[in-house]
Amino acid sequence: MHTIAVVLAAEKSKVPFYVAGGVLVVWALTISLGVGMRRPGFPATVASQRAIMAVTAVLVLAAVSTAVLTSGVPAKGSVPPAQTQEQAPIPVEGQPVVTSTSSSASATTEAPPATPGAPAGKGSTSLKLAANPAGQLSYNTKVLNAKAGTVTITMTNMSPLAHNVTVAEGNKVLGATPTFMGASKTLSLKLKPGKYTFYCSVPGHRQAGMEGTLNVS
């Protein structure tokens, strides 16, 4: 028995327990079904009774010993359970969800929109212009002021009619946006100090009042 215990401890396997248990089961079935039911007078002598009891006791002891020695020891070749990744808690509706933010992240603020006539930078000016949204043939202003340099005019047309904005110096057209509706278009020009005219070049619109003066200083 000592040798069996040493072998079991070294092998760290449940195979000996299965072998001992299997032998015990086969022995029990053979004695009870194979011999006992066929021979009513079995065992016939006291000596045979003691022999059967002794063999049965040894087999039971072997099965119990191997069960105790191999209990709690994983079978050879068994795969350890895979590690599970911790899942983030699922937010419950109606409860605030807390999110972590980096302390080094810098907050940004949206720059205010440019106003008509306000310089957008050194040597540049951003202007805003809009057609009358009700469909009247007019802009929202008759005068625009800018600094010499790059002048950018952003025109918005939410009127049911198509319009554009055209900039001219006297009779010379310097630039114009496409004729459009339901959107905004931008026109950028490099202008020297002076007085310019802006208007809608769609036939009849300028004559109806869609024009103004662009002063560049």
Triad 71, 56, 19: Cα angle to 5°: 40
Range of weakest confidence among 11-25, 101-115, 121-135, 149-163: 101-115
Higher pLDDT, 81 or 64: 64
Would you state the pLDDT for residue 105? 34
Confidence of residue 115 (pLDDT cuts 50, 70, 90): very low
Q: Is 152 exposed, middle or buried (0-12, 13-18, 19+ CB in 10 A)?
A: middle
Would you say residue 80 has pLDDT above 60? no
Would you say residue 81 has pLDDT above 80? no
| Mean pLDDT within 86-105 | 44
For 118-216, CATH number out of 3.40.1170.10, 2.60.40.420, 1.25.40.10, 2.40.160.40 equals 2.60.40.420
Every domain of the chain and the residues it spans: 2-70, 118-216
Range of weakest confidence among 52-61, 103-112, 161-170: 103-112
- The pLDDT tens digits of the residues spanning 119-177 come to 444 589 999 999 999 999 999 999 999 999 999 999 999 999 999 999 999 999 999 99
Give the residue among 136, 190, 130 at the shortest CA–CA distance from 157.
130
Higher pLDDT, 79 or 40: 40
Is the Cβ–Cβ distance between 176 and 164 less than 8 Å?
A: yes
pTM: 0.46
- For 73, the token pair is 């020891």
Confidence of residue 59 (pLDDT cuts 50, 70, 90): confident
Half-sphere exposure for 217 (CA within 13 Å, toward CB): 7
Confidence of residue 103 (pLDDT cuts 50, 70, 90): very low
Confidence of residue 39 (pLDDT cuts 50, 70, 90): low
